[in-house]
A and B are shown apart, each in its own frame.
Chain A
Amino acid sequence: MTEFIQLVLAGTANGCIYGLLALALVLIYRSTHIINFGQGEMAMFSTYICWSFLNAGMGYWLAVPLTLILAFAAGIAVQRVLIRPVQNAPELTIVIVTLGLYLFFNSLALWIYSGVPKPFPLPTGIRQASWQVGDIFIIPYHLFIFAVLITLMAALYLLFQRTKLGLGLRAAAAQPASSRLVGINVNWMLALGWGIAAAAGAIAGILSAPVVQLEPNFMATILIFSFASATLGGFDSPPGAVVGGIAIGNIVALGGRYIEFIGTQLDIVLALVVIVTVLLIRPAGLFGRQVVQRV
């Protein structure tokens, strides 16, 4: 039982990271119906930027906000420069452009930072040692991840539901044509959406870097788990992405331990199974809206 609780705790912490990246995917999918295959690699690259700041002697709590601002700006730039010209192109074109992003950031990181894993520090103020409650060890960093996720969700909720900008963002996603008529700059709203997604992805990268080592491919697996999370939660539901992420985190942690065949090597197979099962049984995911189309 102790082991089970321990696994759930660790799985939830990982799941929060999957949820964050899934959130980034969902934010973009919801507004533009694009699945950004480059999301994970953009997050990975942001994490490297953060590492460079830290390496240059900057404090954690200065380096991270700075990175997030840069990631936000980069997200906007990518949308404005690369995605907008193909916004209305066939799906294949868009998929290929985002795959181009994947390849580009992956190889750029390898180019600049080499493939040697880099140690990434815990946030200053978070202690390394774990607390013991009965038989269970609680790792403070896991709680920190959870707290970040909750804070971010609350902030996004306030942004989307309580501000005029948020209203504009939602309107641009739901009804681009009508939004344009009432004076919303839809193109900028979409770009802002990409910026927010890039920043959320960067948070996911920075949070997971201390757990797994920082190397150019470290987000690739996380991206697949995030895809599974977003599929499970529903590709157009931000809360769904987070719930899906936590679910996937636990499925992976428990499945790896209790299903003999899976072990630690084949956890990615679990993601594949979840993706295919969800798409077959309930394509819209747990929280997604079933889209009905008139032909």
Chain B
Amino acid sequence: MELLRSLDYRRNWFLPLLVVAGLVWLSARWVDYGAIPAVGDLIEPFAGMAALLSILAIATVVAAYLLRPVLDRGPQAERALRWVGYGLIVAFFAFMPLYVELIPHASMLKMTVAIQFMIVIVGLNLLTGFGGQISLGQGAFFAIGGYTLAIGFREWDLPWGWSLLIAPLIAGVLGFLIGIPALRFKGPYLALATLSLAVTITPLAKKFEEFTGGVQGVVMFGKLGVPFWQDNLDRFFYYTTALIALLVFILAANLRRGRFGRALVAIRDNEVAASAMGVNVALYKMTAFGIAGAFAGLAGALNGVVIQFVSPDQYSVLLSIRFLVGAVIGGIATINGAIIGGLFQQFVPDVTVSINKSAPDAIQAIILIVVMYTMRYGVAGFLQETWRYARSGLRLRKPGAGVTVVETVVVVEEEVVIVRQDGGGAG
């Protein structure tokens, strides 16, 4: 009963809706929509995702309930639990080869690409989520990373390990420089300017045929040597990518927590006030562009290594849009959201492509719009909120934990501020 009450669905109205959708999905297993099979097919991905999301949310609530004795001990315990949570996520990815075959649609290669998406998205989260700078051009940096690898391989026979170091440098410097004109743009104009950047990259790559191999691209099949696990390249590239991603996430989380992150959020929320407080607005914005560019470039180079092939048509505008969609669905003003965003971008298209070749984008578009209406801070934001509601719902019934409550509220409040101010700035 207490558990049920902790759901607090007056405030958390979206959860029951998800559960209903999940039941619809389950019903599709038994009820025959045979008369209108297309409708059944179409309902399935949405309902399936709702089911997945409601499972996550209910697990969050149950965890808040079960862990209550630990959590009530104070903020240190809560922080420790958070580390346990991170540990579980890392472990999930670390032991991937053991159970990757059990996950439907998954393979080592697909997981590798999903992690590469996460690297791009975490950069986008810093830039757009915390920095407030909309970028539709991350695909361009991704392409720059890919071509750094390809050109290095073609022209100088550069080992790909070096390309992984050089690509983020080049993409980062370019991002930093593109930050200069971006200083003059705001909101939709910035989206527009960065979009045209994304549009330009494909024809540019086709134009400089002598370096990029033109439309045919650069083929590197079997020519990228690895030091060990030669007989299991998928595994080698998976762990390389995952290790790099771990470093990127740690870096991003530290940037977010430190001076840089605070300055970025201050700029997003009120540029004038931030500069009055002595924040160097231009420098921070450009650095944010640089960092997001570097992450995207790194992921692009990694992607080239894994796919072993780089061609202009891989980097269409849609790629840039997909990065932003992934970031938004995962949760744009969060770091953890990137994990969800990356998995979403890899697996939702993969699952839905069986309906129709163009179904993935249509379904993503609908999910995107629905997410914008129901969970403005994405899946990660939704789960955070659910956790908070569950915690506060449980706490109300526990007057004994007075001091603890106050301290916990402070911790929680910090996140509330992040989330709310993002939404509050409507003009």
Selecting from A81-89, A124-132, A199-207, A243-251, the interface stretch reads: A81-89
B292 located at the interface, meaning its Cβ lies under 8 Å from any Cβ of chain A in the complex? no
Interface of A is mostly: helix
Compute how far the CA of A220 lies from the CA of B191 in the bound complex, rounded to whole angstroms: 15
B398 located at the interface, meaning its Cβ lies under 8 Å from any Cβ of chain A in the complex? no
Q: Are A85 and B358 in contact (CB under 8 A)?
A: no
Q: Are B362 and A279 in contact (CB under 8 A)?
A: no
Contact of B193 among A106, A268, A279 (CB under 8 A): A279
Please give, as numbers and ranges, the residues of chain A lying within 8 Å of B186 by CB-CB distance: 91
Q: Are A96 and B358 in contact (CB under 8 A)?
A: no
Report B190-223 CB contacts with A as 1/0, cut-off 8 Å. Answer: 0111011101100110110000000000000000
Task: Tell me the smallest distance from the CB of B216 to a CB of chain A, in Å.
Answer: 15
Q: Are B325 and A103 in contact (CB under 8 A)?
A: yes
Selecting from A2-10, A46-54, A147-155, A270-278, the interface stretch reads: A270-278
B422 located at the interface, meaning its Cβ lies under 8 Å from any Cβ of chain A in the complex? yes
Q: Are A86 and B373 in contact (CB under 8 A)?
A: yes
Q: Are B365 and A92 in contact (CB under 8 A)?
A: no
Q: Are A35 and B376 in contact (CB under 8 A)?
A: no
Q: Are B358 and A110 in contact (CB under 8 A)?
A: yes
B359 located at the interface, meaning its Cβ lies under 8 Å from any Cβ of chain A in the complex? yes
Compute how far the CA of A103 lies from the CA of B317 in the bound complex, rounded to whole angstroms: 11
Q: How many A residues, CB 8 Å from partner? A: 47
Chain B interface residue bracket vs A: 35 or more
Compute how far the CA of A220 lies from the CA of B321 in the bound complex, rounded to whole angstroms: 13
B423 located at the interface, meaning its Cβ lies under 8 Å from any Cβ of chain A in the complex? yes
B165 located at the interface, meaning its Cβ lies under 8 Å from any Cβ of chain A in the complex? no
| A85 touching B191 in the complex, CB below 8 Å, given contacts A224-B196, A269-B204 | no
Task: Tell me the smallest distance from the CB of A134 to a CB of chain B, in Å.
Answer: 36
Q: Are A99 and B185 in contact (CB under 8 A)?
A: no
| A90 touching B199 in the complex, CB below 8 Å, given contacts A95-B188, A107-B362 | no
User: Nearest A residue to B197 by beta-carbon distance?
Assistant: A272
Please give, as numbers and ranges, the residues of chain B lying within 8 Å of A92 by CB-CB distance: 128, 132, 134, 187, 332
Task: Tell me the smallest distance from the CB of A85 to a CB of chain B, in Å.
Answer: 6
Q: Are B359 and A88 in contact (CB under 8 A)?
A: no
Which residues of chain A in 3-56 are interfacial with respect to chain B, using CB atoms and an 8 Å cutoff? Answer: 33-35, 37
Compute how far the CA of A92 lies from the CA of B191 in the bound complex, rounded to whole angstroms: 9
Q: Are A104 and B365 in contact (CB under 8 A)?
A: yes
Task: Tell me the smallest distance from the CB of A63 to a CB of chain B, in Å.
Answer: 25
Q: Are B188 and A35 in contact (CB under 8 A)?
A: yes
A100 located at the interface, meaning its Cβ lies under 8 Å from any Cβ of chain B in the complex? yes
User: Nearest B residue to A85 by beta-carbon distance?
Assistant: B373
Please give, as numbers and ranges, the residues of chain B lying within 8 Å of A275 by CB-CB distance: 192-193, 196
Please give, as numbers and ranges, the residues of chain B lying within 8 Å of A265 by CB-CB distance: 203, 206-207
Task: Tell me the smallest distance from the CB of A233 to a CB of chain B, in Å.
Answer: 14
Contact of A107 among B185, B361, B423, B426 (CB under 8 A): B361
Task: Tell me the smallest distance from the CB of B410 to a CB of chain A, in Å.
Answer: 26
Compute how far the CA of A228 lies from the CA of B200 in the bound complex, rounded to whole angstroms: 13
Q: Are A227 and B376 in contact (CB under 8 A)?
A: no
| A37 touching B361 in the complex, CB below 8 Å, given contacts A268-B199, A272-B199, A272-B200 | no
Q: Are B362 and A37 in contact (CB under 8 A)?
A: no
CB within 8 Å: A-B pair count: 135
User: Nearest B residue to A295 by beta-carbon distance?
Assistant: B272
Please give, as numbers and ranges, the residues of chain A lying within 8 Å of B332 by CB-CB distance: 92
Task: Tell me the smallest distance from the CB of B42 to a CB of chain A, in Å.
Answer: 11
Please give, as numbers and ranges, the residues of chain A lying within 8 Å of B373 by CB-CB distance: 85-86
Q: Specify which of A91, A94, A275 lies most central, judged by the most chain B CB atoms within 10 Å of its CB.
A: A91
Compute how far the CA of A31 lies from the CA of B186 in the bound complex, rounded to whole angstroms: 18
Which residues of chain A in 73-126 are interfacial with respect to chain B, using CB atoms and an 8 Å cutoff? Answer: 82, 85-86, 88-97, 99-104, 106-108, 110-111
A231 located at the interface, meaning its Cβ lies under 8 Å from any Cβ of chain B in the complex? yes
B227 located at the interface, meaning its Cβ lies under 8 Å from any Cβ of chain A in the complex? no
Which residues of chain A in 248-295 are interfacial with respect to chain B, using CB atoms and an 8 Å cutoff? Answer: 263, 265-266, 268-269, 271-272, 275-276, 279-280, 283, 295
Which residues of chain B in 374-427 are interfacial with respect to chain A, using CB atoms and an 8 Å cutoff? Answer: 376, 422-423, 425-427
Please give, as numbers and ranges, the residues of chain A lying within 8 Å of B324 by CB-CB distance: 96, 99
User: Nearest A residue to B317 by beta-carbon distance?
Assistant: A220
Contact of A90 among B204, B207, B317, B422 (CB under 8 A): B422
B230 located at the interface, meaning its Cβ lies under 8 Å from any Cβ of chain A in the complex? no
Compute how far the CA of A4 lies from the CA of B203 in the bound complex, rounded to whole angstroms: 25
Please give, as numbers and ranges, the residues of chain B lying within 8 Å of A101 by CB-CB distance: 365
Contact of A97 among B318, B321, B369 (CB under 8 A): B369
B257 located at the interface, meaning its Cβ lies under 8 Å from any Cβ of chain A in the complex? no
Q: Are B361 and A276 in contact (CB under 8 A)?
A: no
Q: Are B368 and A99 in contact (CB under 8 A)?
A: yes
Please give, as numbers and ranges, the residues of chain B lying within 8 Å of A221 by CB-CB distance: 199
B189 located at the interface, meaning its Cβ lies under 8 Å from any Cβ of chain A in the complex? yes
Please give, as numbers and ranges, the residues of chain B lying within 8 Å of A102 by CB-CB distance: 321, 365
B334 located at the interface, meaning its Cβ lies under 8 Å from any Cβ of chain A in the complex? no
Q: Specify which of B328, B360, B372, B425 lies most central, judged by the most chain A CB atoms within 10 Å of its CB.
A: B372
Please give, as numbers and ranges, the residues of chain B lying within 8 Å of A34 by CB-CB distance: 188
Compute how far the CA of A96 lies from the CA of B369 in the bound complex, rounded to whole angstroms: 8
User: Nearest B residue to A113 by beta-carbon distance?
Assistant: B358
Compute how far the CA of A231 lies from the CA of B332 in the bound complex, rounded to whole angstroms: 28
B181 located at the interface, meaning its Cβ lies under 8 Å from any Cβ of chain A in the complex? yes
B259 located at the interface, meaning its Cβ lies under 8 Å from any Cβ of chain A in the complex? no
Q: Are A100 and B372 in contact (CB under 8 A)?
A: yes
Interface residues of A (CB under 8 A from B): 33-35, 37, 82, 85-86, 88-97, 99-104, 106-108, 110-111, 220-221, 224, 227-228, 231, 263, 265-266, 268-269, 271-272, 275-276, 279-280, 283, 295
- 13 example contacts (A-B, Cβ-Cβ < 8 A) are as follows A35-B191, A35-B192, A92-B132, A92-B187, A95-B134, A95-B188, A99-B324, A103-B362, A107-B361, A220-B317, A265-B203, A280-B181, A295-B272
Known: A82-B369, A103-B364, A275-B192. 5 other contacts (CB 8 A): A88-B427, A104-B361, A104-B366, A111-B359, A268-B196
